[in-house]
Structure 1
Amino acid sequence: MKSILTGKLCLTSLKPCNLETCTKEEILEYFENTYDLDETLFSALKDESSFYLCPDRLRLPLIFYFCHPPVLYINKLLLTGLIKEQVNPSFEALFETGVDEMSWDDTENYRMGGSFNWPSLLECVEYRRKVRAIVRKVIQETPLELPVTVDSPWWALFIGLEHERIHLETSSVLIRQLPIHLVEKPLGWRYASSSSGLEAFDNPLIKIPTSQVAYGKPRNFPSYGWDNEYGQMTTIVPDFEASKYLIMNGEYLKFVQAGGYGKKVYWTKEGWEWRKFRQAHHPTFWVCTKGCKSGCGAALASYSHCQPDKATKTSGEAGCTEEPPSGNQNGWCLNGVEEEELPEYRYRAMFDILPMPWDWPVEVNYHEAKAFCTWKGSGYRLPTEAEHHLMRDGSKKPLGDGIMSDPIFCDDLKEKSNINLVFGSPTPVTMYPPNEAGFHDVFGNVWVWIEDHFNGLPGFDTTYLYDDFSSPCFDGQHTMILGGSWISTGDEASRFARFAFRRHFFQHLGFRLVRTCGLLKTPVRVVNAETIIPDNSITVPKETVQMITVPSANTQLRYETDVAVQEQLELEYGDLSKAGYCSQLYGVCNRVIKEQQLAGSTCLVLGSGTGLISFMLTQLFCKVIGIDYCGRFIETAQQLKYSGYQNSDVKVPDYLDRDRVIFKQLTWIPKEIGRHCFILVNFLDRTLNPSAWLVRLSQVVQAKGLVVVASDTWSRNNLDQRFQELRKQLSFVEQMEIISKGKQGNKVTYVTIWKP
């Protein structure tokens, strides 16, 4: 599949750019390296048909991940004005949106899998080629002002670069789940060596005394960072002890042999439900001979790695891949051992099945890691974020050392950590030297699961260019991962990197054992969200751990409550007279539509709430699309659409045509929304970053359309400041006020009118 390359084969990752000193030549080289690495990974697929398979039933087919990164470059560069035109509007809608499935038992979406008609591979390769040329031109021709900061147009380019490097890693996990006969190791791909015979290993605990720790990325640090990295947390960490090494396959084998996957007592409630659903009997990248359920989707639903007659490629050495003997197409021998004599467990590496490397770290999801901790007993758990920072203290330099305080920028990185693609696999946990605190692999090898829920640090803020990168994951459903893996590059390999996954996700991801050993309880931070079932969210030794409930840094999640729903219903349906809020807002829309002689069939409501204003606008439009980020509001609006009422107090007037309305829950305005002749924006006061919505309006309003923006706080006095992004795209027409009555007194809403 070298034909998919728009550049060259590449297996070496460069350092990220220093945003204080980088030149255009360095940025261009880093871009080419990023693009080449991604394409080299996909060149491992043996034929075009593999691009349309779903290695994971809850994820998109691989063709999506091949085209998604270049689409993001285009869409982000458009937002900053570094480019003026789309490349392929249908691609930039289709490949814009990824997937973060809500639950391990979600029904497979066939738009994402079996029956959806995706573009051809040739079309996707040509799209990548065009985007490469466009980004090269942007880098070469756009004036570069240093330092590059979050307020610089160049930030959009670095979003694209680091986003593609994230997908280099996530795509590698998906490719690793493909049937082995569909992939071929790229030339030069190198696995680490292993003793492959170590069943038991001494993994002592190292004690860390009570300490204060501070973490978080300074906003002036001269490298790219995602929004969740910034801010600062300072906390006291009580005495604890942690395993010197990451938990190895050899250690985890004892849990498997003890029947750990069959004993409910070791698992959380959520974890046990997942284990039963997946019918898991061992880690997903272990290979046995018993036909275990794979979790693949669509055409691969019946496939299993754990079938000796389907495990068609086996490497005799961890560092090399043997060629198949002629005539043996159904199964391979392992070092001369026939299939019926194969060892109980082998190991699925990226492109080969290897003898089990018992001294490599085990790779499991959160549920499996927690079950092992419980089986181990004696108060064992996963580390907290603060504890992880204390464990790595000996590996980092003080921030006063500038850019060199981050290991990813240091020349000796490959001598200290299995990160940044030094190898194409994990390494033995003893391969790299310990840090000053005595721990191995605090950076690299595999990510580690953390006990804390994912959340923003104090001082968290978002950028309008990617408002929803982190914030939707501050919901208690996402658990933190830290430290990076062997394939983490760029910002992912930074000391500041903070990421999270749903607890059932697979990644190059393992864990380290920790337990509190002093009198003080260890604080574990969990997000306070009404949608979380506490028994499912986290399970820790209550004798030694204190659960600290913290508010979500995503203020939008505060509306996901019964109280917020009732308040919104009262605002919309509490007064249906002409003096009511929605009636007055509809009156404004009706007037300006007639005055501007607006003609069109579709309307878009951003901030549809519980639906009334969308229902009212059906009097003026054949189709109304109501969008809100709040799931509870959308759910209530859907109920009202189908039944017409919620209770005796909430009823949609009979003269409104509810069938003309479509409600969608979205956290931004995607390209798939299309263009509309009329847009009403009605929720800026409750969004996390209003500019993130305003900057996209010109992309969804028709050339002769109209935009109405309603806000409680964006008045005439601060119009220039509030709408500076909107003024770059649209022309101001007029402003007015509407006054409605509520439980808290009169409500003043400022309404502004705009047109292209």
Structure 2
Amino acid sequence: MRQIIHFRRGSVHSQQQRSAAEAMEKILLTGNYTLKSMKPIDLSNTNKEEIKAYFENAFELNESIFTGLKDASAFYKCPDRLRLPLIFYYAHTASVYVNKLLLAGMIQERVDFKFETIFETGVDEMSWDDTENYRMGGSFKWPTLTEVTMYRRKVRQMVLKTIQDTPLVLPIHQESEWWALIMGIEHERIHIETSSVLIRQLPVEFVQIPRDWKYAPYSVGDGLTRNSMILVSGGDVTLGKCVKFPSFGWDNEYPEFKTTVPPFETARYLITNSEFYQFVQNGGYTKKEFWTEDGWEWKTFRQATHPAFWVCTNGCKSGCGGDISNVTHCRPNNCDDSYTSSSGSYRYRAIFSVIDMPWDWPVDVNYHEASAYCAWKGPEYRVPTEAEHHAMRGKQNASDVGVESDIIFRDDINCNINLMYGSSTPVNMYPANELGFHDITGNVWEWMADHLNGFPGTETSFLYDDFSAPLHDGKHNMMLGGSWITNGTTASKYCRTGYRRHFFQHAGFRLARSVTTDVVLPLRLINTPVFILGRGVSKIVATVKHSKIDKCFGRSTNAQYYEESESRLNNIIQLQFGVQVDNYTTNLLGVCNTIIKKYEISKNSVLHLGCGPGRMAFEMTRIFKKVVAIDFCGRYIDTALKLQNVGSLMYEIPLSCNDETVTSRKRQHAMIAGDIDRSKVVFKQMTWIPNELYGFDLTIQDMIDRVSNVKAWLVRLGEITLSTGVVVIVSSTGWDKDTIKPIVGHRLRYLGCDAFTFVTPTGEKNEAVVTLWKRT
């Protein structure tokens, strides 16, 4: 038997620490305290008692993690300036149950509309150099911890009653109403990990060790042997998930996708803290030649000199926000009093403690740091691709075996997932797989070279249309394998997730290299230009160097990004402003005026979904006191804001083409009438209809022909429109009463229809169908 060497465990409490942890339990817990996670549900063979237990386990496990905060004030601290305070994440998962169950029709009443609005969605981490990017504003006054705990308790009781009262029909599949409940549970399990990362980013004085928390051994045996490279012969691999597999899955996991992997080599172990220390010691953070352009900009902005969860005594720049933005892990004597350091100049920030550096644990870094390390090792090194990671897994059981083919469903899990420990483990602690690789599943997530993208034929769910599709932008890299706290189906072999390359997670990497350079990497990169509001179109770059990297690029599976081109923008400007006879906006405006008079619609507020560059919204200011205009396309909203600012702009339309190449263009002028009060319009870019949009007298859905998932937009129209108001749905591609009614179901009552003709930018005549609806 190998000797196991332990450092002091986080589970060792003084009486004072135990009392503090128990005090937080009394404040937070709506059920039992637990640090044990259940296996996911086999959706072909389950019952209400099992679903109830799985829900309660997730709910309680999430609350139990938060008992690691010392007091209520810690909930209102912002561990990351790109994120919200922790109170948001404590409440967020509860609000999602209500929002999703309501969409699915499983419940008819909300628990607390105010909470289900402010806790519906967080901030976007799209930019690493944004500061205090609070969606609610830095001075927003959050509800008290007592109020939020009461809300969680109400949601818990609502979900339990829903489980009890709703007939269960098996199997549960993506069209089942029960899918929404399972989605809520798996979403909560994702956020257990999300919150753990944020808690880990908090200054250590705001946290405490929860009851029974257990860190892993410092090392095993005689320590780590050389991290050798293993040759993988490659071959055909299957990625993705069969749509009939009886477990919950997120949209980007489907369908199955087959590809071929050329031979390659990759490291036996994840890169450890000890290995990464050599990079730091050799000036890796000071040598620009090892970093990508984006990586060096991030490193410079953050003034990073070592990984974020390493602790030194140099007062390194903090990534926290709000009133703790100047508080840093890296200051003298900031180690917990229970620990003494024997690891030289660096200590290590575990989730609830600062401890001696565990050199044999995997290093936690973002993609920029992983990429720089690979470059430092040599030009042939890189991180693996998604397809290569599948090849590294060895022989996999076929999906027709059932859920037992997936490790997270088995009783004999022998890897560091599902909170086996409250930390990473030595990379040689768990046995290697048949090919000789350790930690293919668990310990820390592994960064992949691929951009996050869907598989060919992927479809989104109307319950969560924007779960991953907005991330298919070439700016998010994939991570696979899960970490020590990953649980539920997020620890499944099918799980695919991705983050911006500056993002911190419990994530590391291992080295890989191609055997030959004359083959195309099994690498999926995105070349679809995406316009980011306020930033424009930024260059999409390859994440690794390879002689045939150009052949790895393809289109984003998010078709909505195809609207972001300049030619599409010019077409919609021409549609709204340039056509003089049978102009689209003019004729739609005429139809809406008739509807307003016929149904005696109040003229307080109107919502225009699919506003494009905004002409209809500006015209509506003549009628309504409040005008809100929404589009998912950043380039369209950017143009609308420019028009709002100056009242006019120039645009171009093609005059002639030769072999699909534009040979001449004509510049035209788009102008808002001088008597319109442009300031009355509120323009917003949104990829979904959030709860903050509500209470409209008239709602115009004018982009049903452009969105990827029509149902995701239509099912919310009734709730956001007043009972005295009218919903107008416009389509030029055949969405009439008979196609819309099965989607909106009982939510909207059909009133009638209208139509108008318009001339397209190419000069052709077309007809738009306008259907009218009222809230039931």
Deviation at 1:535, TM superposition (A): 6.1
Give, as a single letter, the amino acid of the residue that structure 2 aligns with 1:349.
A
* Contact kept? 2:253, 2:494, Cα under 8 Å: yes
Deviation at 1:149, TM superposition (A): 0.6
Give, as a single letter, the amino acid of the residue that structure 1 aligns with 2:386.
E
Match of 2:751 among 722, 733, 740: 733
Q: Deviations over 1:190-219 (max 9, x none)?
A: 111013999985100011113111211000
2:682 paired residue number: 662
Deviation at 1:575, TM superposition (A): 2.1
Assess, with a 3 A threshold, how the Cα gap between structure 1 residues 54 and 534 changes in structure 2: closer, same or farther.
Answer: closer
Give, as a single letter, the amino acid of the residue that structure 1 aligns with 2:607.
L
Q: Deviations over 1:226-265 (max 9, x none)?
A: 0000112211111100000011111000000000001100
CA distance in 1, matches of 2:745, 2:107: 18
Deviation at 1:22, TM superposition (A): 0.7
Deviation at 1:668, TM superposition (A): 0.8
1:350 paired residue number: 351
Deviation at 1:545, TM superposition (A): 4.8
Deviation at 1:597, TM superposition (A): 1.0
Match of 1:461 among 459, 462, 466: 459
* Contact kept? 2:530, 2:561, Cα under 8 Å: no
1:178 maps onto 2:202 in alignment = yes
* Contact kept? 2:585, 2:615, Cα under 8 Å: yes
Assess, with a 3 A threshold, how the Cα gap between structure 1 residues 576 and 246 changes in structure 2: closer, same or farther.
Answer: same
Q: Deviations over 1:309-328 (max 9, x none)?
A: 3x141554xxxxxxxxxxxx
Q: Deviations over 1:65-115 (max 9, x none)?
A: 000000000011111221111111111110001222211001213565752
Assess, with a 3 A threshold, how the Cα gap between structure 1 residues 398 and 715 changes in structure 2: closer, same or farther.
Answer: closer
* Contact kept? 2:387, 2:522, Cα under 8 Å: no
1:334 paired residue number: 341
1:521 maps onto 2:520 in alignment = yes
CA distance in 2, matches of 1:378, 1:527: 23
Secondary structure of the residue that 1:672 maps to in structure 2?
Answer: coil
* Contact kept? 2:526, 2:540, Cα under 8 Å: no
Match of 1:41 among 65, 89, 93: 65
* Contact kept? 1:18, 1:222, Cα under 8 Å: yes
Deviation at 1:381, TM superposition (A): 0.4
Give, as a single letter, the amino acid of the residue that structure 2 aligns with 1:611.
G
CA distance in 2, matches of 1:314, 1:161: 38
CA distance in 2, matches of 1:751, 1:65: 41
1:20 maps onto 2:44 in alignment = yes
1:373 maps onto 2:374 in alignment = yes
Deviation at 1:393, TM superposition (A): 2.3
1:177-196 equivalences in 2 (<5 Å): 177-195=201-219
Structure 1: any 5+ residue segments left out of the alignment? Answer: 317-332, 336-341
CA distance in 2, matches of 1:244, 1:376: 16
CA distance in 1, matches of 2:341, 2:125: 37
Assess, with a 3 A threshold, how the Cα gap between structure 1 residues 364 and 740 changes in structure 2: closer, same or farther.
Answer: same
2:310 paired residue number: 286
How large is the Cα RMSD of the aligned pairs? 1.7
1:748 maps onto 2:767 in alignment = yes
Give, as a single letter, the amino acid of the residue that structure 1 aligns with 2:510.
R
* Contact kept? 1:629, 1:665, Cα under 8 Å: yes
Match of 1:486 among 477, 484, 487: 484
CA distance in 1, matches of 2:745, 2:277: 62
* Contact kept? 1:476, 1:527, Cα under 8 Å: yes
* Contact kept? 1:359, 1:428, Cα under 8 Å: yes
1:550 maps onto 2:548 in alignment = no
Deviates most, 196-205 or 734-743? 196-205
CA distance in 1, matches of 2:430, 2:220: 17
Secondary structure of the residue that 1:691 maps to in structure 2?
Answer: helix
CA distance in 2, matches of 1:711, 1:302: 53
Match of 1:94 among 115, 118, 122: 118
Deviation at 1:483, TM superposition (A): 0.5
Deviation at 1:536, TM superposition (A): 5.8
CA distance in 2, matches of 1:259, 1:181: 31
1:567 maps onto 2:571 in alignment = yes
CA distance in 2, matches of 1:5, 1:367: 38
1:673 paired residue number: 693
Deviation at 1:343, TM superposition (A): 2.0
* Contact kept? 2:374, 2:382, Cα under 8 Å: yes
Secondary structure of the residue that 2:361 maps to in structure 1?
Answer: coil
Secondary structure of the residue that 1:728 maps to in structure 2?
Answer: helix
Percent identity of the aligned residues?
49
Provide the aligned length of Structure 1 versus Structure 2: 727
CA distance in 1, matches of 2:580, 2:144: 52
Assess, with a 3 A threshold, how the Cα gap between structure 1 residues 242 and 534 changes in structure 2: closer, same or farther.
Answer: farther
CA distance in 1, matches of 2:143, 2:439: 42
CA distance in 2, matches of 1:294, 1:177: 9
* Contact kept? 1:196, 1:357, Cα under 8 Å: no
Secondary structure of the residue that 1:684 maps to in structure 2?
Answer: coil
Match of 1:684 among 704, 709, 734: 704
Deviation at 1:400, TM superposition (A): 2.8
Secondary structure of the residue that 1:262 maps to in structure 2?
Answer: coil
Give, as a single letter, the amino acid of the residue that structure 2 aligns with 1:496.
Y
1:404-415 equivalences in 2 (<5 Å): 404-413=404-413
Assess, with a 3 A threshold, how the Cα gap between structure 1 residues 406 and 106 changes in structure 2: closer, same or farther.
Answer: same
Give, as a single letter, the amino acid of the residue that structure 2 aligns with 1:160.
G
1:480-629 equivalences in 2 (<5 Å): 480-518=478-516, 519-531=518-530, 537-543=541-547, 545=549, 547-577=551-581, 579-629=582-632
1:320 paired residue number: none
1:136 paired residue number: 160
* Contact kept? 2:83, 2:134, Cα under 8 Å: no
CA distance in 1, matches of 2:222, 2:452: 35
1:425 paired residue number: 423
1:722 paired residue number: 740
CA distance in 1, matches of 2:475, 2:746: 38
CA distance in 1, matches of 2:65, 2:628: 39
Give, as a single letter, the amino acid of the residue that structure 2 aligns with 1:675.
G
Give, as a single letter, the amino acid of the residue that structure 1 aligns with 2:693.
I
CA distance in 2, matches of 1:697, 1:676: 10
* Contact kept? 2:122, 2:135, Cα under 8 Å: no
Secondary structure of the residue that 1:522 maps to in structure 2?
Answer: coil
Deviation at 1:463, TM superposition (A): 1.2
Secondary structure of the residue that 2:33 maps to in structure 1?
Answer: coil
* Contact kept? 1:314, 1:334, Cα under 8 Å: no
Give, as a single letter, the amino acid of the residue that structure 2 aligns with 1:696.
R
Match of 1:257 among 269, 281, 301: 281
Assess, with a 3 A threshold, how the Cα gap between structure 1 residues 11 and 489 changes in structure 2: closer, same or farther.
Answer: same
CA distance in 2, matches of 1:730, 1:536: 42
Deviation at 1:653, TM superposition (A): 2.0
CA distance in 2, matches of 1:200, 1:10: 33
CA distance in 2, matches of 1:537, 1:369: 16
* Contact kept? 2:382, 2:513, Cα under 8 Å: yes
Secondary structure of the residue that 2:344 maps to in structure 1?
Answer: coil
1:632 paired residue number: 635
CA distance in 2, matches of 1:58, 1:176: 15
CA distance in 2, matches of 1:265, 1:40: 44
1:164 maps onto 2:188 in alignment = yes
Deviates most, 194-203 or 240-249? 194-203
CA distance in 1, matches of 2:440, 2:234: 19
Q: Deviations over 1:542-574 (max 9, x none)?
A: 237554111111100000111111111011111
CA distance in 2, matches of 1:724, 1:678: 22
CA distance in 1, matches of 2:770, 2:135: 39
Q: Deviations over 1:137-188 (max 9, x none)?
A: 1111110000001101111101110101110001000000111121111111
Assess, with a 3 A threshold, how the Cα gap between structure 1 residues 122 and 657 changes in structure 2: closer, same or farther.
Answer: same
Match of 1:11 among 35, 38, 53: 35
Deviation at 1:617, TM superposition (A): 1.2
CA distance in 1, matches of 2:261, 2:405: 23
CA distance in 2, matches of 1:106, 1:304: 19
Question: Segments of 4+ in structure 1 off by > 4 A?
Answer: 110-114, 196-201, 532-536, 544-547
1:319 paired residue number: none
* Contact kept? 1:523, 1:547, Cα under 8 Å: no
Assess, with a 3 A threshold, how the Cα gap between structure 1 residues 197 and 301 changes in structure 2: closer, same or farther.
Answer: farther
Give, as a single letter, the amino acid of the residue that structure 2 aligns with 1:398.
A
Assess, with a 3 A threshold, how the Cα gap between structure 1 residues 100 and 642 changes in structure 2: closer, same or farther.
Answer: same
Deviation at 1:601, TM superposition (A): 0.7
